[in-house]
Amino acid sequence: GAVVSQHPSRVICKSGTSVKIECRSLDFQATTMFWYRQFPKQSLMLMATSNEGSKATYEQGVEKDKFLINHASLTLSTLTVTSAHPEDSSFYICSAFPSGGTSYTDTQYFGPGTRLTVL
């Protein structure tokens, strides 16, 4: 089946540092990936759409300069949390479409998530 991986699974960093999270589609190509944020016992909040070869599109209220997204290949998208602060601590999850395109009838496959803790 379609597998999406994330690295690292867990990261702890000091306030003010930057952290990069990788999202990879292991057995398929993905033109589009999505980044979500999830607070404890809460739903997923869509942060941005990552498009291969072009700029990411961010949801309203998400700071694009803080959450840098790069989708350099059809199997890799990265989310960099710049100058992280404790309020950025969260569970970050990515997803991707195995068909290589996007359709609201397609099934997204999700990565296992990355737990970010900013001290």
Partner 1 sequence: AQSVAQPEDQVNVAEGNPLTVKCTYSVSGNPYLFWYVQYPNRGLQFLLKYITGDNLVKGSYGFEAEFNKSQTSFHLKKPSALVSDSALYFCAVGLSGNTGKLIFGQGTTLQVKP
Residues that bind partner 1 (CB under 8 A): 4, 6, 32, 34, 41-44, 46, 49, 91, 93, 95, 97, 102-113, 115
Query: What is the C-alpha to C-alpha distance for residues 20 and 22, in angstroms, rounded to an integer?
Result: 7
Nearer to partner 1, 22 or 82 (CB): 22
Q: What is the DSSP string of 7-65?
A: E-SEEEE-TT--EEEEEEESSS--SEEEEEEE-TTS-EEEEEEEETTS--EEPTT--TT
Residue 59 CB, shortest distance to partner 1, in Å, is 9
Least gap, CB of 36 to partner 1 (angstroms): 8
Residue 76 or 82 with smaller CB distance to partner 1: 76
Cβ proximity to partner 1: between 17 and 42 the closer is: 42
